[in-house]
Structure 1
C-alpha cells in the first residue's frame, strides 16, 4: 500500500508494510555536482505533483573497503548525482495523523570515506514499529566531503548533515515526528560527526539528545586535514585546489583517493579525512555539553582491523615495543595491560591499548567533563531536577561485550549496530547466524527509551562511573570497570 506525505519541497509517495511507512531517497539538498561540486549544500528545487520515494537514492561516490573488510562490511552502490538524500521510516502509516513522536536521525560511519544508508543493516522499520520516526542520512564522503582546499568551504560533509537536520526540523511533523524531540545517533565516523555537531553554531537547536557509538570527539587543524589532498594532488600532477580537483574525472579521483587512504585504519593511523577546526562550522574542539548524551564502545574494537588481516598474530614483541615508543606509551602502562591478560599475544596487548587510548579513554574523559562539581553517586533518579527547574544535561555510558564467533572477531568495532537497529538477519557477516535476539531486544529498547525520555534505563554517569555492560545471557551495570587501566591514560 502506498501513502503520501507533504514536505515543503513537494509531496512524496512512500510504501506501507506491516504498519510501517518507508519513504526512501528524499532529496534534502541539491545534487552537489557540476557548479555545486566542492560547494556548501544548496537548497533542493521544489517539484510539482507527487515524487516517488520507493527506492534508495544515489550513494556518495566511494570505493569499496579493501579486502578482507569488503566481505564483512558491504558497500552498496546506487548510481546518480543526487547523493544528498535521506530516508524516513514512520509508524502507523506515517501520514502525520499521529504527531509528536520522538525522532532519531542516523549518521553512518565509514572513516568519512565509506558508507551509505542503503545497507539493509540500517533499516529503520524496528524503530518505527516501536514508535520512533527514524531518519537516515547520506552525506558527501572522502575528498568531496572532507578534503581541505583553499578555495572551498571546509567540512562540507558536516554541512550536508546540518542541512539534513534542518530538513528534519522543517518537515518531520508531516511524518508524525516531533521536531523538538530529535536524537542524533551514529557510529564511528558518524559519532565523531555528532561530537562536532554538538559544538557547531550552525546545528544549535536542531537536536535534543545524542548517541555516540564507538567514536570519540576528534578534530584536526586545517593544515593537518589537508595532508590527504596534498598527497592526492602530487599523484594527480595537479594543484591542491578544489578547482583543479573538480576538473578531474570522478573515477580517476576515486582511484587516486583509494591509493592514498584506502589502506588506512583508525588503529594503524595514516593520511585520511578529518573534521577540521575552521572557526565557522566547527569553531572549537568538540566537547558535547548542552544535550543529553549516551556514549560507549565495544569491548574489543581493535579486532575488526587486527584479526581479519592477520595483524593480531603478525605483531611481535619487537613491534609492540616500537609502537610503545612511537606513541610515547609509558612502560608502566604496558606492564599493567600485560599483567591483566596472561597469555595474550603482543598483537592483542597492542590492540587493547589502542582501543583504550583512542576510544574508551577519551569517551570516559568526555563523560567526566560533563559531571557537575557535586555530581551525586546515587542511582539515576537522583539526577532528575525537581521543583520545575530545568534539568542539567545527562550522560550515560555503555559497553557492548557480546563476542561474535565469526573469524574470532569477538566484541569488535561495528558489531553492535545490528543489535541497535534490531536487524540481526542483515548483520550476519559480522554476527553469524546465532546472534542472541534477547540482546538485540535489550539494546534496541535502551536506544528507543533514551530517544523518548532521555533515560536508557540505567544510572547516569557519576563519580561511581556506572557502565551498562550489554552481553548475553546477562547484561547489567558495572561500576568503574577496568578503572586502573583507563586512568593510566589520563
Structure 2
C-alpha cells in the first residue's frame, strides 16, 4: 500500500487503484470484481474484469444494480440510494493502515433480492476497520437481472455474483492487508440467504472461515416455484420467458413490468417474489438441508418482531381470525401450534399472533432447527430492543445500525429514532468483531440448552424463548 498524503494506492490483479485515508483507515470504493453485466454479458455468468492502465480512482461508490425504490410504509423506514451506470459489480474496502494478516469480513446487503446497495451510509465499514478488520462490501445483480428463471439463461445469477465477489476477496484482499485464510461472510435478510447459499456450496465454502446469517431465509425453491415471477412478467411483457427475449428489453422495461406486476401486493398475497432456486450448477441443495452438516463456525439469529417491518399496525389490526385460519390451512400449520403460540403470548392480538407465526415459519424456526442439528460451533442470538418508531419494536432490519455501530448516523433515524442506546451498539458490534477476529462472540454455543444471546437495553444469555409453537411448525 503506497502513501501519498491522504491518498493510498494499492495494486491488485486488474490494475492500480487510488483510495483515501482518514484517521488511520484507508477506504477504496467502487472496485470492479467482475465485468459490467450488460450488453453481451447480460443474463450470463459474471465475466472477468478487463485490466486497466494507469491509476483508477477508487473514491466513490460504483453504480447500483437496477431496482425500484421501496414503496409505501416500508419506503418511509428504509434508506435507498441510486448511483447510475452499468459497472454495478463492484466491491468496497475499508482497511486499517499498515494492516498485515488482518481478519476479513465480506458484507452482503439485503433487500428481498430486488433492492439494496452497499453504498447505503449505514453500511459504512469504518467501525470494523477501527477494530483491526479489513471490511469488504459488494453489490450484486438484483430482481429480474439477477434472479429470473429463464430458458437458456444460467440460474441464480445474483448468487453467482456473490460467489465471484467472494473469490475476488480471497484473491485480492492480501493487497489491503487482509488474510485470505480468515474470511468471514455475513449478510442480513436476502444477504443472509446468500451467505447461507455460499456456505452450502462446496466450492465457495472452502473460502470461508466463519459466517454470520442475520434474519436470512434458508430455503431455496424448485425452478418451477421460483420461476413464477419470471413467467408472470413474461406474460405482462408479451414475451417468452427466455434469455433472448428478456435480454432484448432494457432494464427499465423489466422494472416497469415488475412495478405493474407487484402493484397492490401485500405480505398476505399478490405477486410472487424473487427467490433462490435449486440448480445443479449453482445451488444443488437448499441451505436448510446442508447447513446442519457444515463445520464452519456460525452466528445465526433473528429479531423478536421481524413481522412489524412488513405489516403496519393498521394492517395487523385488519387480520381477522378467519384470515389466520385460512393461512393456517394453506400452510398446513397444525392447530395445536397456533394454540401453543397463543399460550406463549396470551395478550397478543390476532394480527400479532399471525406475525409471530410468520416470523417463526419463515425465519426463526428454520434457523433454530439448523442450529440444533449442528455439531460445529453455532451461536444463536435474538435482537429484542424496541424501536420507538411506528411501534416497530424489534422489527426486521432494526439490528443493523447496532451491528455496524452506525446507530448515531442520521440515515438510520427513520428506523430507530433519534436516541438509540449507544451501549447496545457498542456491545453488539464488539460481539460481531470478536467472532470475526477469534471465532468467539462472547456467549455460549446454542447446544442442547438452546442458549441464546438476547440483545436489548440490558442484554443477557437465556434459554431460547417462545419455543412451544415454533417447535410444532412444519
Indicate the TM-score class for this superposition, using the shorter chain for normalisation.
over 0.9
Q: In the alignment, is residue 427 of structure 1 matched against residue 412 of structure 2?
A: yes
Provide the residue aligned with 2:306 in structure 1.
301
- Whether the 8 Å contact between 1:264 and 1:271 is mirrored in structure 2 is no
Q: Distance in 2 between matches of 1:200 and 1:436?
A: 38
- What are the equivalent positions in structure 2 for 1:77-476 lying under 5 Å apart? 77-92=82-97, 97-261=98-262, 270-286=271-287, 287-288=290-291, 289-307=294-312, 310-371=314-375, 393-424=376-407, 425=409, 426-472=411-457, 474-476=458-460
Provide the residue aligned with 2:14 in structure 1.
9
Provide the residue aligned with 1:58 in structure 2.
63
Provide the residue aligned with 2:77 in structure 1.
72
- Whether the 8 Å contact between 1:99 and 1:176 is mirrored in structure 2 is yes
Q: Distance in 1 between matches of 2:198 and 2:363?
A: 18
- Whether the 8 Å contact between 2:73 and 2:312 is mirrored in structure 1 is no
Q: In the alignment, is residue 20 of structure 1 matched against residue 25 of structure 2?
A: yes
Aligned alpha-carbon RMSD (Å): 1.4
- 2:306 counterpart SS class: coil
Q: Distance in 2 between matches of 1:265 and 1:434?
A: 31
- Whether the 8 Å contact between 1:107 and 1:136 is mirrored in structure 2 is yes
CA shift, 1:222, in A, is 1.1
Q: How many residues align?
A: 463
Moved more, 245-254 or 446-455: 245-254
Moved more, 119-128 or 336-345: 336-345
Unaligned runs of 5+ in 1: 372-392
Q: Distance in 1 between matches of 2:355 and 2:460?
A: 25
Q: Distance in 2 between matches of 1:217 and 1:335?
A: 26
Q: In the alignment, is residue 489 of structure 1 matched against residue 446 of structure 2?
A: no
CA shift, 1:260, in A, is 2.2
Provide the residue aligned with 1:380 in structure 2.
none
- Whether the 8 Å contact between 1:300 and 1:355 is mirrored in structure 2 is yes
Provide the residue aligned with 1:389 in structure 2.
none
- 1:183 counterpart SS class: strand
CA shift, 1:236, in A, is 0.4
Query: Can you list the C-alpha shifts for 1:28-67, whole angstroms capped at 9, x where unaligned?
Result: 0000000000000000011111100000100000001111
- Whether the 8 Å contact between 1:121 and 1:427 is mirrored in structure 2 is yes
Provide the residue aligned with 1:381 in structure 2.
none
Q: Distance in 1 between matches of 2:61 and 2:177?
A: 21
- Whether the 8 Å contact between 1:41 and 1:159 is mirrored in structure 2 is yes
TM-score normalised by length of structure 1: 0.92
- 1:478 counterpart SS class: strand
- 2:436 counterpart SS class: helix
CA shift, 1:221, in A, is 0.9
- Whether the 8 Å contact between 1:202 and 1:281 is mirrored in structure 2 is no
Provide the residue aligned with 2:3 in structure 1.
none
- Whether the 8 Å contact between 2:303 and 2:395 is mirrored in structure 1 is yes
CA shift, 1:300, in A, is 0.5
- 2:72 counterpart SS class: coil
CA shift, 1:163, in A, is 0.7
Q: Distance in 2 between matches of 1:245 and 1:480?
A: 46
Moved more, 333-342 or 118-127: 333-342
- 2:301 counterpart SS class: strand
